[in-house]
Amino acid sequence: MARIGLLALQGGFAAHAQCLAALGHDCVEVRRPEQLVGLEGLVLPGGESTTQLKLIASAGLGPGLRALVAAGGPVLATCAGLILAARQVQAPQQESFGWLDLTVQRNAHGRQVESFEGWSDRGRKLVFIRAPRIVAVGAAVEVLDTLRGEPILVRQGRVVGACFHPELSDSLGVHELVFGAAVDDRAREVLRPLRLAAEAG
């Protein structure tokens, strides 16, 4: 079991917590700098990236987030989280942490009403909600999956970024890729439906 921090300032972070719990990890919802102490990994969830940046700054979380990533802990950055992790952001430009040598374009897949589901070129279930688009990839970045030839899942070192929402699919595959599993397959089959039922109730 690993202690994984989940940035919980804004956006859809609850489904990530379910995925981490189903893999047997201890999920810590992070809202204050002291909650970053002792963490072994990090999730930057979807939401609204400019709002998240303002909340990160007002909460004083920036130095601690940078230190955690610099220490080499695994990181999963999805949708707005990918925007925060990128080196350069377009449409419009904004600050970012630069952990992934990417250029991303915000909301490039349309507005909320244009959200869609589909399948990646490698057969992965995809959920896109106001998703960013990766428009340039640096030499150090490994492309793990694509949609119609366009990168949507990437990795640089121990930081993995996704344009889509893996936490909203039926699979724990992306979370397990990043953080591993502390439970076996049978336990996961039991835990995930229980977590989803508890959240729905």
Q: For 181, list phi and psi in degrees, rounded to 5.
A: -125, 135
Alpha-carbon gap, residue 3 to 20, rounded angstroms: 10
Find where tokens 């992790």 sit.
85
Q: How many CA atoms lie within 13 A of 168 on its CB side?
A: 18
For the chain, 201 residues long, give each residue's pLDDT as a single digit of tens.
889 999 999 988 999 999 999 999 999 999 999 999 999 999 999 999 999 999 999 999 999 999 999 999 999 999 999 999 999 999 888 999 999 999 999 876 655 555 778 899 999 999 998 889 999 999 999 999 999 999 999 999 999 999 999 999 878 999 999 999 987 665 556 555 544 444 444
Instruction: Give Cα separations from 50 to 33, 92, 127, 131, 172 (angstroms).
Output: 19, 10, 21, 14, 28
Structurally, how many domains does the chain consist of?
A: 1
Which residues are known to be catalytic? 79, 165, 167
Sign, CA torsion 72/75/80/82: positive
Structural domain harbouring 74: 3-200
Residues 6+ apart with CB under 8 A from 34: none
CATH of the domain at 96: 3.40.50.880
